[in-house]
Amino acid sequence: MPTRPCPLNHGRPRHHRTLQPKWHNHHRRHRPMSGRRRGPSQGLEFLTAGEDNYCCTCAQAATSVKKMNIEKFRNRDLEEYVKQHSVRQTEVQKKLMAETLKHPESKMMADPVQYQLMANLIQVINAKKVLDVGVFTGASALSAALALPEDGIVHALDISEEYTNIAKKLWSEAAVNHKITLHLAHAEDTLQKFIDSGEAGTFDFAFIDADKEGYDRYYELCLVLVRRGGIIAFDDTLWDGRVIDPSNQMPSTVAIRKLNEKLRDDQRINLSLLNIGDGLSLCFIK
Ligand SMILES: C[S@@+](CC[C@H](N)C(=O)[O-])C[C@H]1O[C@@H](n2cnc3c(N)ncnc32)[C@H](O)[C@@H]1O
Q: What is the whole-number distance in angstroms between the Cα of residue 17 and the centre of ligand 1?
A: 67
pLDDT tens, residue by residue, 55-84: 555 555 555 555 556 666 667 899 999 999
DSSP 237-261: SSGGGGGG-TT---HHHHHHHHHHH
> How close is the Cα of 87 to the center of ligand 1, in Å?
23
Tens of pLDDT, residue by residue over 236-274, are: 999 999 999 999 999 999 999 999 999 999 999 999 999
Question: Which residue's CA lies nearest to atom 9 of ligand 1?
Answer: 109
Atom of ligand 1 nearest to the CA of 160: 25
CA distance 280 to 221: 19
203 — pLDDT class (breaks 50, 70, 90): very high
Domains, the chain, ordered by start: 21-83 (no CATH), 91-285 (3.40.50.150)
Pairwise CA distance, residues 223 & 87, whole Å:
29
Which of the four pLDDT bands, split at 50, 70 and 90, describes residue 105?
very high
Residue 247 and residue 220 in contact, taking contact as beta carbons nearer than 8 Å: no
Q: How confident is the model at residue 7 (pLDDT cuts 50, 70, 90)?
A: very low
For residue 232, give the nearest of 199, 270, 261 by alpha carbon: 270
Strand partners for 46: 55
Would the CB of 278 count as within 6 Å of ligand 1?
A: no
Phi, psi of 33 (to 5 degrees): -120, 25
Mean pLDDT of 132-154: 98
What pLDDT sits at residue 76? 81
* Contact criterion met (CB below 8 Å) for 165 and 190: no
Taking the whole predicted model, whether its pTM rises above 0.85 is answered as no
Query: With the CA atoms of 272, 277, 278 and 279 taken in that order, what torsion angle do they form, in degrees rounded to the nearest 10?
Result: 0
Q: Whose CA is nearest to atom 7 of ligand 1?
A: 109
111 C-beta closer than 6 A to ligand 1: no
With a pLDDT cut of 90, the percent of the chain lying above it is 73
Measuring CA to CA, how many Å separate 175 from each of 76, 150, 178?
34, 11, 8
Q: What is the mean pLDDT of the chain?
A: 83
pLDDT of residue 15 exceeding 60:
no
